Structure 1
Amino acid sequence: MPDDTDRRILRHLLADPGISNAQLAARANVTSATCWRRLEKLRATGVIRSEETVIDWRALGWEVQVSLRFTLDKTEPRAFDDFVAAAREVPEVTEIQTFLGSVDLRLSVIARDMAHWQQVYRDSILTLPHVTDIDALMLVSTIKDTAGVAL
């Protein structure tokens, strides 16, 4: 279980993911060697799952972001597996999530513009198998986007 020092390291790492080990150690008030060992332990135990690059799709010209909520045909035994396999093949799908409740899955989809979105929706989304209902939410703005919570 992470202790106060681990949580302090994680807080600083979340605040500045590109920070060097030496800077992180100084901010967390530990030696560089201690910081490195603790980071390795946090990785080995799965507390830190990955270090990833987060892309701002809008900066790359992908102006449309849509969250699609799906309800699947629950009378079809392979509905979930077939749907997920097909959704993984759509290049514009950036995220697939599952839920309990009236919504079974949510897809995050990006497109360059509205014309591209219409093409993706018509050619890729509407052809996904075993769908009984789709609800689309188009992103207007992001108010808060963080993976961090108080540690």
Structure 2
Amino acid sequence: MLDDTDRRLLRHLLADPALGTADLAERAGLTTATCWRRLERLTAAGIVKARQAVVNWRALGYEVEVALRFTLDKTNPRAFDEFLAAAREVPEVVGIDSFLGRVDVRLSVIARDMADYQQIYRRRILTLPHIADIEALMLIATIKDEGTLPV
């Protein structure tokens, strides 16, 4: 599906997603028009989903990040959908993932400090519907955070 040119283009795009099409084309050794066409094709094929900004929450004053793992009470057939709908409404939830296994959902929650996190936890997290169990994992350090694979 991908040829060497597509792979080269993707490597440069992953290395610097903020590059404009002309700069990306130059780095990948393509004309701007060819680069644009290939990006359009890769996007249409669902290979490139978006070119987006990655926010450094700590630089904005959010010093605490917690991964909360939830097991839901599945006696209600709408438990999963109702939990997700409510979790989407919590502004401090910056990520939601679902799983197969003992853990049903993981929420990534940010807070300015521990006192702020305590308020978020009590007022917004514990009020989410259909919670059977919660496990909290406090982020200490991010060792590797890149969405790249060798292409």
TM-score by length of 1: 0.96
Q: Which residue does the alignment assign to 1:32?
A: 32
Residue 140 in structure 1 maps to residue 133 in structure 2: no
- Report how far residue 21 of structure 1 moved: 2.0
Alignment of 1:89-100 (within 5 A): 89-100=89-100
- Report how far residue 26 of structure 1 moved: 2.2
- What count of residue pairs does the alignment treat as equivalent? 151
- Report how far residue 40 of structure 1 moved: 1.3
Q: Percent identity?
A: 66
SS of structure 2 residue aligned to 1:110: strand
Structure 1, gaps ≥5 residues long:
none
- Report how far residue 62 of structure 1 moved: 0.6
Q: Which stretch shows the higher mean deviation, 18-27 or 65-74?
A: 18-27
SS of structure 2 residue aligned to 1:108: strand
Amino acid aligned to 2:145: D
Alpha-carbon RMSD: 1.0
Alignment of 1:1-151 (within 5 A): 1-151=1-151
Amino acid aligned to 2:107: L
- CA deviations over 1:13-44 (Å, ceiling 9, x no partner): 10011123222222212222211111111112
* Matches of 1:21 and 1:78, distance apart in 2: 45
TM-score by length of 2: 0.96
**Conserved 8 A contact 2:17-2:52:** no
**Conserved 8 A contact 2:72-2:132:** yes
